Amino acid sequence: MQVFVILPAAGLGTRMAGPQPKQFLALGGIPILIHSLRTFAAVPRVTSMYVAVRKQETERVESQISEFGFAGRVHVVEGGEKRQESVANALSALPAQPDDIVLVHDAVRPLIDAATIERTIDAVAETGAAIVGMPAVDTIKQVERTAHGALVTATIPREFVVQAQTPQGFRFGLLQRAFAEATADGFVGTDEASLLERAGIPVAVVHGSQVNLKITQAGDLELAEFYLQQRNRH
């Protein structure tokens, strides 16, 4: 059984003001994307990694990959307009068998740790599909969007909610089937698990951590620097 990793890194990062997409910003002096690659590369069961980037970023990413010593183990593919397209492009480049495992990880979650990756692989090997999730600590409201903001329509009991993180892992055959069904129906999701859910495939949850944050908006980078310093101190 092989384990492939897909890192969608073709987003524009429009929610964070700045001259370049967030996956290329430096964290502790190293590009955000490289942090994730390093952690996955350190997991012995990982066979190879595929990074989806915008065409104009290909050269930059390829030179970073060789600079940090990943040449041969990391492949660059072209991303798409939507995250789902970026992942689909990487999927079609994988030399995988139906029983192999594919982990998809947001390139903008640089603080993923090896133990969580290992737990996700174990859960996928056992159940076929598993995602990293965090129990909700806030009270969750369902709302209706209005011209002036939002109106609460219901409270969703917290015990029924987890916040989906990545990695999200699947048997290659199941992921391919879910992507094919989504494409046929024109469905676009914000993560891979949503495609399996609508295909009726059960998805298990592995415990995540708040350190595995997604660098999305101003302030997130500073918080990630803090977590990184804490980690390096131990």
The binder of ligand C5P chosen from 39, 64, 86, 165 (CB under 6 A): 86
Q: Report if residue 81 touches ligand C5P, rule: CB under 6 A.
A: yes
Nearest-Å Rg of the Cα atoms of the chain is 18
Q: Which of residues 152-181 bind ligand C5P (CB under 6 A)?
A: none
With H, G, I as helix, E, B as strand and everything else as coil, classify residue 103: strand
Q: Report if residue 99 touches ligand C5P, rule: CB under 6 A.
A: no
- What is the pattern of x (binds ligand C5P, CB under 6 A) and - over residues 203-222? -------------x------
Burial 123-134 (b: 16+ CB within 10 A, else e): bbbeebbbbbbb
The binder of ligand C5P chosen from 6, 16, 23, 172 (CB under 6 A): 23
Q: Report if residue 189 touches ligand C5P, rule: CB under 6 A.
A: no
* Mode of pairing for the β-strands spanning 26-27 and 204-207: unpaired
What are the strands, taking DSSP E only, across 17-148?
26-27, 30-31, 46-53, 74-78, 101-104, 129-135, 140-146
The binder of ligand C5P chosen from 79, 167, 169, 208 (CB under 6 A): 79
The binder of ligand C5P chosen from 6, 10, 91, 94 (CB under 6 A): 10
With H, G, I as helix, E, B as strand and everything else as coil, classify residue 200: coil
Q: Report if residue 52 touches ligand C5P, rule: CB under 6 A.
A: yes
Q: Report if residue 27 touches ligand C5P, rule: CB under 6 A.
A: no
Tell me the longest C-alpha to C-alpha distance in the chain: 52
List contacts with ligand C5P (CB under 6 A): 8-11, 23, 52, 79-83, 86, 106-108, 190, 216
